[in-house]
Amino acid sequence: MPYQNFEFQTKHCKVQVWHKDITIKNALQSIDALSFLRDRPAIRRILNGICSSGSFSLALFGIAGPTLRLNELAVCYNMTHPVYLEAVSELYRALDVDVQRCRRADATHYVCDNSYDKALERYTGFMMKLKKHIYAGVGAYDRKAFEEEFHLTWK
């Protein structure tokens, strides 16, 4: 049996990205297995997958669509929570640093501005912050909180 007013109550939330907790935790494990130096495009793709959505309905309907109800034990995250937006934007900034670029001091010497170390430090710090907030449940909703957030009623 579907939620009685799901489509009506959620139509104004098009910018929100929702994922189940297992999806987020699997993505974080996948990122942990990648190298910051060699796998930055792959890390960016995973972050894109959990922090953006081409279609609002796909992300939210996967959690509680018109033919099902949010599982009583399931937890979902609103990835547009300000804490996640800040952490992920800083992760993108770290991933965008050109870690290979060094400028030429003279004909025989190059000077590197230590951009790799700075980027890695920023990346590590904000990845830890992201994980801390995920595991602390910031922006997490169980069934009751999800239904209250959108004023949903069960048919």
Is the pLDDT assigned to residue 134 strictly greater than 90?
yes
The pTM assigned to this predicted structure is 0.76
Judge whether 1 lies within some domain: no
CATH code: domain of residue 91: 1.20.120.70
What does the pLDDT look like over 16-58, one tens digit per residue?
677 878 888 999 999 999 999 889 999 999 998 888 765 444 4
- 41's CB contacts (< 8 A; 6+ apart) are none
Domain with 111 in it: 6-150
Sole residue written with tokens 């990648």: 34
Judge whether 155 lies within some domain: no
Give how many domains the chain has, as a whole number: 1
Is the pLDDT assigned to residue 59 strictly greater than 60?
no
Judge whether 138 lies within some domain: yes
Judge whether 59 lies within some domain: yes
Judge whether 111 lies within some domain: yes
Judge whether 87 lies within some domain: yes
